[in-house]
Amino acid sequence: MNVDKSIAILIDLENVYYGLKKYHMDPDHPESHHNLFLRLQEYYGRQAIRMMEVYADFEQLQMSMTSLQKKRVHIHQVYGNGRGEEERKNAADIQLCLDAMDILHRIPEVTTFVIVSADQDMIPLMDRLWTRGKRVELFCLNDESLSKSAQIHEFCDKTHNLFNFLNISQFQNLSRMDRLVQDALIQIYEWYEDPNNSGKSYGSTWIKKDLNRKLNLTEGEANQLFAKLLQGRYLEPYEISVDGNIYYGYYVNLQHPQVRTVVRIAGYRVD
């Protein structure tokens, strides 16, 4: 029996990776209903997908290429300029566009192009594919990083909001303070996950200093954020005895449903 393998999925993984990173989420999430690649296979059907291609400078991403390959994802390593997140620049989007045009001319059986990216540089590609009679679908994070003036949605047949698609819709409209709460909870949770901190207490002074330094906050903003964590019962106090001395610290409150959600979506197992 012939199988209609008519779908090509092209993922600007660098764009998606840093977009999801703001929400402490990995595109290759351990839970299938949050995993970008498994969700795409589920949505379109593995038998209908002719290819799933990802483009990124993997030297800059904390992701397992082996894990992706096991999911039948084809990896394209595109080297960037080696700079950090804010100044990064590579040719991943260019390589994606070149490959899409090659598929357009070389594999006419592909009738649907699925683009996963919020980069407005994809507009000329999507327009070209559409004018050649192909169906074009776009997946992107519909948040403040998506250019409203570019009207990227008008250049495809269907758009999908990754917040809904990856079952993280509760993160879509976070205020700045809500985002900071999320960042702080992961920061504190990961402090205790570090084996070097085993048997230690994370006190309020050190927590606020780390919030100030790692989240680029002023001292006043760090104090305000810590107060919000306490008032919302996102943290719970505890005490520890070391050599007869009592030290006080704070854990994240995993009995709090919002805290559990944030930690779990960040990829940590919550019992």
215-228 residue pLDDT tens: 999 999 999 999 99
CA dist list (Å): 60 to 77, 84, 207: 11, 8, 28
Q: Which CATH architecture has domain 7-171?
A: 3-Layer(aba) Sandwich (3.40)
Task: Match 């409209």 to its residue by tokens.
Answer: 173
Model confidence at 87: pLDDT above 80: no
* CATH 3.40.50.1010 domain span(s) along the chain: 7-171
SS3 for 162? Answer: helix
Cα–Cα distance for residue pair 28/238, rounded to 1 Å:
34
Task: Match 């520890």 to its residue by tokens.
Answer: 240
pTM over 0.85: yes
* pLDDT tens per residue, range 26-48: 999 999 999 999 999 999 999 99
Average pLDDT over residues 111-126: 92
Spatial CA neighbour of 17 closest among 71, 59, 66? 59
CA dist list (Å): 194 to 9, 46, 188: 37, 38, 10
* CATH 1.10.10.10 domain span(s) along the chain: 176-265
Please, which pLDDT band fits residue 149 given cuts at 50, 70 and 90? low
Cα–Cα distance for residue pair 138/155, rounded to 1 Å:
9
Structure letter (DSSP) for residue 48:
G
Q: Which pairing describes strands 245-252 and 235-242: parallel, antiparallel, or unpaired? A: antiparallel
Q: Which CATH architecture has domain 176-265?
A: Orthogonal Bundle (1.10)
